[in-house]
């Protein structure tokens, strides 16, 4: 059992216009009892940081489908760090296996592939939040 209501921001960073996957994830997290703050397409690191502050988000999920993850992922973790926000970042979408480690090293909490099941999505996000809580 979670000891509080989790609030998760979901967004697409940059010009990637593919939002089917992220909408599915939004419903999965909602159905798992979380509050999803859905920002939709074309967000910037700045707009995501502002939303995370205002919404007091417990986690941020970014969906990436345009092979930009190796630049955008670290850009996002940098932006969070710069703002002094200790919020786990989960990246979902099409990320080749060999890139996962690099993302994790850059401070991304977890990476979810396109084949992730609903249970995996929920447990990964929950685990990222409770790991941060315990840190």
Partner 1 sequence: MNSSQEPIPQLFKSALSGERRSLGKLLTIIERGGETADTVAGLAHQKAGSAHVVGVTGAPGSGKSTLTGRLIDLFSKTGYKTAVLAVDPSSPLTGGAILGDRIRMDDLAGEDCFIRSMATRGHSGGLALAVPAAIQIFDAVGYNPVIIETVGVGQVEVDVAGTADTTVVVVTPGMGDAVQANKAGLLEVADIFVVNKADRPGANDARRDLELMLDLGHVSGLEEKTGYRPPIIMANSLEGTGSEETLKAIKGHAEHLKKSGSIKIRQKQRILMEIQNRIEILIGSNAKEVLETDLGIANIEAVLNRVISPAEAAKLIVNSILND
* Span from 60-68, 80-88, 101-109, 110-118 in contact with partner 1 (CB under 8 A): 80-88
- Please report whether residue 24 would count as binding partner 1 according to CB under 8 A: no
Q: Could you tell me the CA-to-CA distances from 127 to 45, 52, 90 in Å, in that order?
A: 23, 19, 11
Long-range contacts of 112-117 (CB under 8 A, 24+ apart): 114/21, 116/92
Q: Which of residues 37-56 bind partner 1 (CB under 8 A)?
A: 37-40, 43, 47, 50-51, 53-56
- Please report whether residue 33 would count as binding partner 1 according to CB under 8 A: yes
- Please report whether residue 29 would count as binding partner 1 according to CB under 8 A: yes
Burial class (CB in 10 A: 0-12, 13-18, 19+), 22: buried
- Please report whether residue 127 would count as binding partner 1 according to CB under 8 A: no
């Amino acid at each position: 059992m979670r000891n509080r209501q989790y609030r998760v921001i979901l967004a697409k960073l940059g010009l990637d216009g593919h939002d089917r996957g992220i909408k599915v994830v939004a419903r999965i997290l909602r159905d798992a009892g979380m509050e999803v703050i859905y920002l939709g397409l074309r967000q910037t690191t700045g707009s995501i940081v502002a939303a995370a502050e205002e919404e007091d988000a417990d986690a941020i999920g970014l969906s990436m489908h345009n092979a930009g993850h190796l630049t955008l992922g670290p850009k996002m973790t940098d932006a969070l760090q710069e703002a002094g926000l200790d919020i786990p970042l989960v990246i979902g979408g099409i990320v080749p296996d060999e890139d996962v480690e690099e993302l994790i090293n850059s401070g991304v909490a977890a990476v979810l592939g396109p084949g992730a099941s609903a249970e995996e999505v929920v447990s990964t996000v929950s685990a990222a939040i409770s790991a941060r809580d315990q840190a």
